A and B are shown apart, each in its own frame.
Chain A
Amino acid sequence: SQQGEEDPQALSIQEGENATMNCSYKTSINNLQWYRQNSGRGLVHLILIRSNEREKHSGRLRVTLDTSKKSSSLLITASRAADTASYFCATVDAGGTSYGKLTFGQGTILTVHP
Protein backbone atom coordinates (compact mmCIF):
# COMPACT_ATOMS: atom_id res chain seq x y z
CA SER A 1 0.00 0.00 0.00
CA GLN A 2 1.16 3.51 -0.69
CA GLN A 3 1.74 5.39 2.51
CA GLY A 4 3.15 8.67 1.40
CA GLU A 5 1.43 11.63 -0.07
CA GLU A 6 3.71 14.01 -1.85
CA ASP A 7 3.05 17.61 -2.52
CA PRO A 8 3.14 19.11 -5.04
CA GLN A 9 2.61 16.45 -7.69
CA ALA A 10 4.50 18.60 -10.16
CA LEU A 11 6.81 21.57 -9.75
CA SER A 12 8.25 23.77 -12.49
CA ILE A 13 10.98 26.29 -11.68
CA GLN A 14 13.83 28.22 -13.27
CA GLU A 15 17.47 27.31 -12.88
CA GLY A 16 18.93 28.86 -9.75
CA GLU A 17 15.67 28.79 -7.81
CA ASN A 18 15.05 26.55 -4.82
CA ALA A 19 12.68 23.59 -5.01
CA THR A 20 10.76 22.30 -2.02
CA MET A 21 8.88 19.02 -1.98
CA ASN A 22 6.81 17.70 0.88
CA CYS A 23 5.94 14.20 1.97
CA SER A 24 3.44 12.95 4.53
CA TYR A 25 3.15 9.45 5.89
CA LYS A 26 0.84 7.52 8.18
CA THR A 27 2.75 5.08 10.38
CA SER A 28 5.60 5.21 12.88
CA ILE A 29 8.84 5.00 11.00
CA ASN A 30 12.40 3.81 11.50
CA ASN A 31 13.70 6.08 8.76
CA LEU A 32 12.62 8.10 5.75
CA GLN A 33 14.54 8.19 2.50
CA TRP A 34 14.43 10.35 -0.60
CA TYR A 35 15.11 8.96 -4.05
CA ARG A 36 15.42 10.51 -7.49
CA GLN A 37 14.29 8.85 -10.71
CA ASN A 38 15.12 10.11 -14.15
CA SER A 39 12.43 9.26 -16.65
CA GLY A 40 11.81 5.51 -16.69
CA ARG A 41 15.16 4.70 -15.15
CA GLY A 42 16.38 3.29 -11.85
CA LEU A 43 16.00 5.08 -8.56
CA VAL A 44 19.00 6.80 -7.03
CA HIS A 45 19.23 7.22 -3.28
CA LEU A 46 19.65 10.84 -2.20
CA ILE A 47 19.47 10.99 1.57
CA LEU A 48 18.26 9.03 4.60
CA ILE A 49 16.99 10.60 7.79
CA ARG A 50 16.32 8.52 10.88
CA SER A 51 13.30 8.97 13.11
CA ASN A 52 15.38 10.59 15.87
CA GLU A 53 16.85 13.19 13.51
CA ARG A 54 15.19 16.47 12.58
CA GLU A 55 17.34 17.79 9.79
CA LYS A 56 20.02 16.52 7.48
CA HIS A 57 22.12 18.07 4.72
CA SER A 58 23.92 16.64 1.74
CA GLY A 59 25.41 19.08 -0.72
CA ARG A 60 22.53 21.16 -2.12
CA LEU A 61 19.96 18.96 -0.42
CA ARG A 62 18.33 19.65 2.90
CA VAL A 63 15.82 17.26 4.43
CA THR A 64 13.69 17.90 7.47
CA LEU A 65 11.59 15.42 9.41
CA ASP A 66 8.74 16.18 11.78
CA THR A 67 7.60 12.92 13.34
CA SER A 68 4.83 14.63 15.32
CA LYS A 69 3.24 15.74 12.04
CA LYS A 70 4.41 12.65 10.16
CA SER A 71 5.90 14.79 7.45
CA SER A 72 9.18 15.49 5.71
CA SER A 73 10.42 18.02 3.22
CA LEU A 74 13.20 17.99 0.66
CA LEU A 75 14.78 21.27 -0.33
CA ILE A 76 17.03 21.50 -3.36
CA THR A 77 18.89 24.79 -3.40
CA ALA A 78 20.20 26.57 -6.49
CA SER A 79 18.53 24.07 -8.81
CA ARG A 80 20.03 23.04 -12.13
CA ALA A 81 18.50 21.69 -15.30
CA ALA A 82 20.12 18.33 -14.42
CA ASP A 83 17.91 18.17 -11.31
CA THR A 84 14.90 17.59 -13.57
CA ALA A 85 13.51 14.23 -12.39
CA SER A 86 10.85 12.61 -10.24
CA TYR A 87 11.51 12.66 -6.52
CA PHE A 88 10.09 10.07 -4.14
CA CYS A 89 10.00 9.79 -0.42
CA ALA A 90 10.00 6.30 1.03
CA THR A 91 9.57 5.13 4.59
CA VAL A 92 10.70 2.09 6.52
CA ASP A 93 8.28 1.29 9.30
CA ALA A 94 9.35 1.04 12.91
CA GLY A 95 8.76 -2.10 14.91
CA GLY A 96 10.67 -4.57 12.79
CA THR A 97 7.67 -6.01 10.98
CA SER A 98 8.21 -4.36 7.64
CA TYR A 99 11.46 -6.27 7.03
CA GLY A 100 13.10 -3.41 5.24
CA LYS A 101 10.25 -2.70 2.86
CA LEU A 102 10.27 0.78 1.41
CA THR A 103 6.79 2.29 1.19
CA PHE A 104 6.88 4.92 -1.50
CA GLY A 105 4.96 8.10 -2.00
CA GLN A 106 3.53 8.98 -5.39
CA GLY A 107 6.38 11.32 -6.18
CA THR A 108 6.89 14.90 -7.27
CA ILE A 109 7.85 15.63 -10.87
CA LEU A 110 10.38 18.46 -10.85
CA THR A 111 11.17 20.37 -14.03
CA VAL A 112 13.98 22.89 -13.95
CA HIS A 113 14.07 25.22 -16.94
CA PRO A 114 17.46 26.52 -18.11
Chain B
Amino acid sequence: EAQVTQNPRYLITVTGKKLTVTCSQNMNHEYMSWYRQDPGLGLRQIYYSMNVEVTDKGDVPEGYKVSRKEKRNFPLILESPSPNQTSLYFCASSLLAGKGEQYFGPGTRLTVT
Protein backbone atom coordinates (compact mmCIF):
# COMPACT_ATOMS: atom_id res chain seq x y z
CA GLU B 1 0.00 0.00 0.00
CA ALA B 2 1.30 3.41 -1.01
CA GLN B 3 1.73 5.48 2.11
CA VAL B 4 3.66 7.97 4.17
CA THR B 5 4.42 6.87 7.70
CA GLN B 6 5.47 8.98 10.66
CA ASN B 7 6.75 8.02 14.06
CA PRO B 8 5.99 8.62 16.79
CA ARG B 9 2.34 9.59 16.45
CA TYR B 10 2.27 11.24 19.85
CA LEU B 11 5.15 12.63 21.87
CA ILE B 12 5.35 14.58 25.10
CA THR B 13 8.79 15.88 25.94
CA VAL B 14 10.54 18.55 27.96
CA THR B 15 12.25 21.71 26.85
CA GLY B 16 15.74 21.14 25.47
CA LYS B 17 15.60 17.38 25.03
CA LYS B 18 16.57 16.56 21.45
CA LEU B 19 14.07 14.56 19.45
CA THR B 20 13.60 13.17 15.97
CA VAL B 21 10.35 12.55 14.16
CA THR B 22 10.80 10.03 11.38
CA CYS B 23 9.05 10.10 8.02
CA SER B 24 9.16 7.41 5.38
CA GLN B 25 7.42 6.98 2.02
CA ASN B 26 7.26 3.89 -0.17
CA MET B 27 6.27 5.55 -3.45
CA ASN B 28 9.74 6.48 -4.74
CA HIS B 29 8.78 10.15 -4.55
CA GLU B 30 11.46 12.74 -5.12
CA TYR B 31 9.81 15.58 -3.19
CA MET B 32 9.23 15.51 0.55
CA SER B 33 8.16 18.20 2.94
CA TRP B 34 7.32 18.92 6.57
CA TYR B 35 4.41 21.07 7.72
CA ARG B 36 3.16 22.13 11.10
CA GLN B 37 -0.47 22.84 11.85
CA ASP B 38 -1.51 25.29 14.54
CA PRO B 39 -4.95 26.66 15.46
CA GLY B 40 -5.53 30.00 13.80
CA LEU B 41 -2.34 29.73 11.75
CA GLY B 42 -3.21 26.77 9.55
CA LEU B 43 -0.58 24.60 7.89
CA ARG B 44 2.85 26.06 7.28
CA GLN B 45 5.83 24.51 5.58
CA ILE B 46 8.93 23.94 7.72
CA TYR B 47 11.44 22.34 5.33
CA TYR B 48 11.34 20.59 2.02
CA SER B 49 13.57 18.32 -0.05
CA MET B 50 13.67 18.12 -3.82
CA ASN B 51 15.71 14.92 -3.79
CA VAL B 52 18.44 13.07 -1.91
CA GLU B 53 20.88 15.49 -0.27
CA VAL B 54 18.84 18.50 -1.46
CA THR B 55 16.96 20.30 1.30
CA ASP B 56 15.84 23.87 1.85
CA LYS B 57 13.93 26.04 4.27
CA GLY B 58 10.21 26.61 4.11
CA ASP B 59 8.30 29.38 5.84
CA VAL B 60 9.02 28.46 9.47
CA PRO B 61 12.39 26.64 9.68
CA GLU B 62 13.70 28.13 12.94
CA GLY B 63 14.43 25.48 15.54
CA TYR B 64 14.29 22.57 13.11
CA LYS B 65 16.74 20.52 11.06
CA VAL B 66 16.20 17.92 8.41
CA SER B 67 18.27 15.48 6.39
CA ARG B 68 17.66 13.44 3.26
CA LYS B 69 20.26 10.71 3.03
CA GLU B 70 17.93 8.23 1.38
CA LYS B 71 15.08 8.87 -1.00
CA ARG B 72 12.44 7.27 1.19
CA ASN B 73 13.29 8.95 4.53
CA PHE B 74 13.06 12.56 5.63
CA PRO B 75 13.45 12.92 9.40
CA LEU B 76 12.64 16.13 11.27
CA ILE B 77 15.04 16.97 14.08
CA LEU B 78 14.39 19.31 16.97
CA GLU B 79 17.78 19.85 18.58
CA SER B 80 16.47 21.84 21.55
CA PRO B 81 12.67 21.82 21.59
CA SER B 82 10.80 24.72 23.11
CA PRO B 83 7.12 25.05 24.10
CA ASN B 84 6.36 27.10 20.99
CA GLN B 85 7.10 23.99 18.95
CA THR B 86 4.11 22.26 20.45
CA SER B 87 2.11 21.48 17.34
CA LEU B 88 0.73 18.87 14.98
CA TYR B 89 3.35 17.90 12.41
CA PHE B 90 2.77 16.40 9.00
CA CYS B 91 5.19 14.88 6.55
CA ALA B 92 4.18 14.86 2.89
CA SER B 93 5.60 13.59 -0.37
CA SER B 94 4.93 13.90 -4.06
CA LEU B 95 6.43 12.46 -7.20
CA LEU B 96 7.84 15.79 -8.32
CA ALA B 97 7.80 19.23 -6.74
CA GLY B 98 4.63 21.16 -7.46
CA LYS B 99 3.35 18.86 -10.18
CA GLY B 100 0.70 16.85 -8.46
CA GLU B 101 -0.96 15.82 -5.29
CA GLN B 102 0.95 15.50 -2.08
CA TYR B 103 0.49 12.44 0.09
CA PHE B 104 0.36 13.22 3.78
CA GLY B 105 1.37 11.13 6.73
CA PRO B 106 -1.00 10.61 9.68
CA GLY B 107 0.59 13.36 11.76
CA THR B 108 2.68 13.58 14.92
CA ARG B 109 1.22 15.46 17.85
CA LEU B 110 4.11 16.97 19.80
CA THR B 111 3.83 18.60 23.20
CA VAL B 112 6.86 20.34 24.69
CA THR B 113 6.56 21.26 28.37
Contacts and interface: CB of A to CB of B under 8 A. Distances in A.
Interface string A14-43: 000000000000000011010100001111
Interface residues of B, number: 31
Given A42-B105, A88-B43, A101 B90 contact: no
B45 interface: yes
A40 B88 contact: yes
Contact of B42 (A40, A96, A99, A104): A104
B104 interface: yes
A104 to B, nearest CB: 4
A90 B100 CA distance: 12
Given A99-B48, A100-B31, A40 B107 contact: yes
A98 B99 CA distance: 12
B97 interface: yes
B109 to A, nearest CB: 7
Nearest to B103: A45
Interface residues of A, number: 26
Interface in A1-23: 1-2
Given A2-B41, A101-B98, 18 more contacts: A2-B42, A33-B102, A41-B107, A42-B104, A42-B105, A44-B104, A88-B43, A90-B43, A92-B98, A98-B98, A99-B50, A99-B56, A100-B48, A100-B96, A100-B99, A101-B48, A102-B45, A104-B43
Interface of B: 4, 31, 33, 35, 41-45, 48, 50, 56, 58-59, 88, 90, 92, 94, 96-107, 109
18 contacts: A1-B44, A2-B41, A2-B44, A35-B104, A40-B88, A43-B43, A43-B104, A44-B104, A45-B102, A90-B43, A98-B98, A99-B97, A100-B48, A100-B99, A101-B33, A101-B59, A102-B45, A104-B44
